């Protein structure tokens, strides 16, 4: 069966195999992410230098765009911020990590208060 498909529809078989592999990859990524965030120990974590703003927002269940906006970060820099650790963002902004950590924590707490008020 496969030999016949390979001989008659080689390109189609290759395309199908690539599509199946990509589907499996994304399905596994989804499952691992769901299992990771389902664990209560990954929620409401204290801020660490290695965390990204996206990680912080997900951990505290606040929208990442609202967090970036609350921190008053330049819109031109927003695209690259999601993958940069908060320690690097603080260095790029010219402030100490501790100062930026307090700003992020205050922004998260403010967003949580706004969510509770709704």
The 10s digit of each residue's pLDDT in 49-64 is 999 999 999 999 999 8
Longest C-alpha distance within the chain, in Å?
Answer: 66
pLDDT at 29: 97
d(CA 36, CA 28): 12
Q: Using the predicted structure, report yes or no on whether residue 94 has a pLDDT greater than 80.
A: yes
Residue 73 pLDDT class (50, 70, 90 cuts): confident
- pLDDT tens for each residue of 96-118: 999 999 999 999 999 999 988 87
- The torsion of the CA quartet 59, 65, 71, 77, rounded to 10 degrees, works out to 120
For range 14-30, the mean pLDDT: 97
The mean predicted confidence, pLDDT, of the chain is 90
Q: Using the predicted structure, report yes or no on whether residue 30 has a pLDDT greater than 90.
A: yes
d(CA 53, CA 85): 7
Q: Using the predicted structure, report yes or no on whether residue 86 has a pLDDT greater than 60.
A: yes
Contact between residue 62 and residue 95 where contact means Cβ atoms under 8 Å apart: no
Lowest-pLDDT choice from 35-44, 53-62, 63-72, 75-84:
75-84
Q: What is the pTM of this model?
A: 0.76
């Amino acid at each position: 069966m496969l030999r016949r498909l390979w001989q008659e529809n080689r390109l189609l078989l290759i395309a199908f195999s690539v599509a199946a592999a990509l589907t499996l990859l994304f399905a596994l990524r989804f499952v691992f992410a769901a299992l990771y965030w389902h664990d209560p120990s990954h929620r409401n974590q204290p801020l660490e230098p290695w965390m990204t703003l996206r990680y912080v927002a997900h951990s505290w269940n606040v929208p990442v765009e609202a967090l970036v906006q609350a921190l008053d970060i330049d819109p031109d820099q927003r695209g690259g911020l999601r993958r940069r650790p908060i320690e690097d963002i603080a260095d790029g902004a010219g402030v100490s990590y501790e100062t930026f950590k307090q700003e992020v924590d205050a922004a998260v707490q403010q967003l949580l208060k706004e969510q509770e008020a709704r």
